[in-house]
């Protein structure tokens, strides 16, 4: 008979199959195991509005669920949302024990599901593979606990830490192999963001290309001064998803002609009360964006870093050297050492990809 951790690892693998498809819900996997250690049912939450993982696993188990153990990567829900409460189904199926990786941070649940199970006589254990479960659903936890999206800063740098050959110069650094990995990442996140400087310099499309993406991809431009031109290439890709230009009501009034031109080109202007990073990110969370991939540029990354709003990084280090005239990514006071945990380093063609979570104290 396998350990609790082994069965939970299987549930986590199942949960990961829905990556990029479940927002605003978390990814969840579940496994039903008979008293003698046989997996009799398994399932995962495929997308928002579909059956939850526990229900799918119990459907697969049928009568074999009675007296069995249910392993789930998140506490079973106890409230009516798009679907009925999972705890009712778990109790009705005769499950004897529930092993949950973590409590659900959603205030509508927040331990109530586990309490309902305990009151019904179901044995409950929490914490098996909890860290892995939290990291898998870091965007969901970020919105529920901090009221803002999980921010992943992605950058391609030269070997000497530069992002461009000079100010205002579009500089291609990463290889085709690394670009492919970036497209795969775009296929999973809720939105891709850049600053207006990146739009003016690189004129990116910000689409998920040559990869499968089930949902529309939101594109976000941090542009307090409304510098984005109506001719920007990203505005020619509205079939891929909406383009949000974040600004303030004050600047909309000051630059009314620019605002009208952007709206006529298909952009959606989103006004933020004070234009600061915390208020802006809270606004994005209210729009249903949980996982925000910020691809540039250094000014936006620096502002996010100083606001303590970067949660993880992906740094593509290329073999090219740009020299002292090049534009640095972040200044030393914005990039303290040690900065990252859970660091992973992978060779990708001629490049090296460094990924890691930012140390946090909150």
Give me the active site residues, please: 54
Note whether 113 and 75 are within 8 A (CB): yes
For residue 315, the SS3 value is strand
Chain centre to alpha carbon of residue 94: 35
Q: Which residues contact 163 (CB under 8 A, 6 or more apart)?
A: 155, 156, 157, 171, 173, 296, 297, 298, 326, 327, 328, 329
**CA–CA gap between residue 296 and residue 316 (Å, rounded):** 13
Q: Is the alpha carbon torsion for 340, 102, 17, 144 positive or negative?
A: negative
> In 208-287, where does DSSP find H-type helix?
249-254, 256-264, 277-286
**CA–CA gap between residue 72 and residue 70 (Å, rounded):** 6
């Amino acid at each position: 008979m396998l350990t609790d951790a082994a069965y939970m690892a299987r549930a986590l693998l199942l949960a990961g199959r829905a990556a990029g498809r479940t927002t605003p819900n978390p990814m969840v996997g579940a496994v039903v195991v008979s008293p003698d250690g046989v997996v009799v049912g398994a399932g995962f939450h495929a997308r928002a509005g579909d059956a939850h993982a526990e229900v799918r696993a119990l459907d697969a188990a049928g009568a074999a669920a009675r007296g069995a153990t249910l392993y789930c990567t998140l506490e079973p829900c106890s409230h009516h949302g798009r679907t009925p409460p999972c705890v009712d189904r778990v109790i009705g199926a005769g499950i004897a024990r529930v092993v949950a990786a973590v409590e659900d941070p959603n205030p509508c649940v927040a331990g109530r599901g586990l309490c309902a199970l305990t009151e019904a006589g179901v044995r409950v254990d929490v914490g098996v593979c909890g860290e892995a479960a939290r990291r898998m659903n870091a965007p969901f936890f970020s919105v529920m606990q901090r009221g803002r999206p999980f921010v992943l800063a992605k950058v391609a740098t030269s070997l000497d830490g530069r992002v461009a050959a000079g100010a205002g110069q579009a500089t291609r650094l990463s290889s085709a192999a690394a670009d492919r990995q970036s497209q795969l990442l775009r296929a999973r996140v809720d939105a891709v963001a850049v600053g207006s400087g990146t739009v003016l310099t690189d004129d990116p499309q910000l689409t998920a290309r040559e990869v499968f993406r089930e949902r529309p991809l939101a594109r976000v431009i941090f542009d307090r001064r409304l510098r984005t031109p109506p001719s920007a290439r990203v505005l020619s890709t509205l079939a891929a998803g909406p383009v949000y230009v974040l600004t303030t009501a004050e600047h909309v009034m000051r630059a009314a002609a620019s605002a009208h031109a952007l709206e006529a080109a298909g952009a959606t202007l989103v006004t933020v009360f004070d234009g600061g990073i915390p208020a802006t990110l809270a606004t994005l969370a209210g729009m249903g964006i949980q996982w925000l991939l910020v691809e540039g540029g250094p000014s936006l990354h620096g502002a996010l870093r100083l606001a303590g709003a970067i949660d993880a990084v992906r740094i593509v280090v290329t073999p090219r050297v740009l020299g002292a005239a090049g534009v640095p990514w972040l200044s030393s006071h914005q990039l303290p050492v040690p900065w990252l945990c859970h660091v992973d380093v992978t060779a990708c063609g001629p490049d090296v990809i460094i990924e890691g979570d930012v140390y946090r104290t909150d």
